[in-house]
Amino acid sequence: MNKSLFNPSDVANTSVVKVSKTVLAVAICSLAISACDSPKPVERNATQFDLVTTDDANEDIGTYILPQDTAILKEPNAEQIFYGKRLLNETKRLMPEHVGAQMNCNSCHIAQGKIPLGDPYINSYNFYPRVMPRSGKEVDLVGRINGCFMRSMNGKPVDRDSKEMQAMVAYMKWLAQNTPKNQKVAISNAGEIDTSLTPDPVRGEKIYQVQCATCHGDNGEGIKDSRGDIVFPPLWGDESFNIGAGMARTYKAAAFVKYNMPMAIQTKGLWGHGNVLSDQDAVDVAEFFTHKPRPDFAGKENDWPTGNKPKDARY
Ligand code: HEC
Ligand code: HEC
C-alpha cells in the first residue's frame, strides 16, 4: 500500500472515530460553554493482547492486559520498579556519565515500552537470554540493555549489580506481568517495511523538511526545554546515537519511523502517530537522516562475527 506523503488517506478504525467525536464535542462546547462545561472523560478499556506459546504451535492460550502504572503500588518492590521507570524516561538527566547522546531510553521505546511496533519492552524480560546475530553469542537482558547504552545512547555500560540496572530490569519484569517463560504476548516489536525498495536520500531530505524538522530541528539537532532536558531527541550529529545502533540502519529506522513518526500531530494511532508515510517515504527519509554524520562505534569490528550481516549495516 503506497500512500502519498502529502495526501494521507484515512484509515478507518474505531479509535479514529472516537477521537473525532471527542474533537467534535469539544468544538461544540467551545461554542456553548455553559451547556457542557464538564465534558465526560472518555472511558478507556485496558489494552489487551493475546498470550501465545513460544513454540512453533503458537497456540493462543490467554490474554495479557497492559497494566496501568498505578498498579505498581501493589508490588512489594514498588519503589524499585518506579525508579526503573524513571530511569528509562529520564536517562540522560539521571545517568549522565553513562549517556553520551541527548537521548533517553524512551526516546525510542515509545510510551515507556508499552506499545506494539514502538520497540516495546513487554516481551523483553522473557525474550533473553538469547543468541543475537550481531554479537554472535548469547546475550542476557542486562547485556541487551547495555547494548543500547553503548550504541543507541552512545554511552558506557552500566554495572550488572548496580541499583540502576536492577531497577530497569525490575520495570521490564513488572511489564511482563508474570508471563510464563514458554509464553509471549502476541505483539510485534517493529512493523513491516519493504526492504527491496531503493532509498532516495534527496527525496528523503525534502520529506524531512516537511514532516520532521519542526520537532527534530533543521539540522537534526533536536529541541531541549528551558531546563536543558530533551523534548525532541536529535536525529544526527555528535549528540545522536552512534553508527552501531539499530536505528542507524536504513530499513530498521524506516520501520520505526513509518509506524511511530511524525508524533502526536494527527489523528492516527493511539498516540496520534505513524502511518502517514508510505514505505518509500519512510525508507527515503531514513536513508537521509541515518547517513548524516554521527559518532563512530568503537567495538564495531566485533559485530556479526559469524556472518549474516544485514544489507543496511553501516560497517
Ligand atoms: C536510538 C533509539 C534507541 C534508544 C535511545 C534505546 N534503544 Fe533500546 N532498542 C532500540 C531498537 C531499535 C531496538 C531493537 C533492535 C533490534 O531489533 O535489533 C532496541 C532493543 C532494546 C531491547 C530489546 C527488546 C527486545 O524485546 O528484544 C531492550 C531491552 C532495550 N532496547 C532497552 C533499552 C534501554 C534500557 C535503553 C536506554 C539505556 C535503550 N534501549 C535505548 C532503540 C533504542
Ligand atoms: C510533533 C513532533 C515530532 C515530529 C513532527 C517528528 N517526531 Fe520523531 N520524535 C518525536 C518525539 C517526542 C520523540 C521521542 C519519543 C518520545 O519522547 O515519546 C521522537 C523520536 C524519534 C526518533 C527516535 C529517537 C531519535 O532521536 O533517534 C526518530 C528516529 C524519529 N523521531 C524520527 C522522526 C522522523 C524521521 C520524523 C519525520 C518523518 C519525525 N521523527 C517527526 C517527535 C516528533
Ligand nearest to the CA of 237: 2
Residues 187-211: b if buried by 16+ CB within 10 A, e if exposed: bebbbebeeebebbbebbbebbeeb
Distance 257 CA to ligand 2 centre (A): 8
Residue owning grid cell 547485556: 143
Q: At what angle do helices 250-260 and 279-290 cross, to 10 degrees?
A: 120
- Residue extent(s) of CATH 1.10.760.10 domains in the chain: 1-8+191-315, 52-189
65 has pLDDT over 80? yes
pLDDT at 271: 64
Atom in ligand 2 nearest the alpha carbon of residue 277: 38
Query: Quick check: 15 pLDDT over 50?
Result: no
Query: Could you read off the pLDDT of 127-172 as tens digits, one per residue?
Result: 999 999 999 999 999 999 999 999 999 999 999 999 999 999 999 9
Distance CA 262, CA 159 (A): 35
- Residue 174: CB atoms within 10 Å: 23
Please tell me the predicted confidence (pLDDT) of residue 45. Answer: 63
Q: Would you say residue 246 has pLDDT above 90?
A: yes
40 pLDDT above the threshold of 80 = no
Q: 1-8+191-315: what fold?
A: Cytochrome Bc1 Complex; Chain D, domain 2 (1.10.760)
Residue 114: what pLDDT?
95
- State the average pLDDT over residues 35-49: 64
Ligand 2, atom 26, lies closest to the CA of 233
Look at residue 23 in the predicted model and tell me its pLDDT.
44
Atom of ligand 1 nearest to the CA of 104: 5
> What end-to-end distance do the CA atoms of the chain give, in Å?
31
Quick one: pLDDT band at residue 34, thresholds 50, 70, 90? very low
Q: Which atom of ligand 1 is nearest to the CA of 155?
A: 38
Residue 274: per-residue pLDDT: 81
Pocket residues for ligand 1 (CB within 6 Å)?
88, 91, 103, 105, 107-109, 119, 121, 123-124, 127, 144-145, 148-149, 152-153, 168, 189, 241, 245-247, 252
Q: Whose CA is nearest to atom 35 of ligand 1?
A: 145
Question: Which atom in ligand 1 lies closest to the alpha carbon of residue 98?
Answer: 38
CATH number corresponding to 52-189: 1.10.760.10
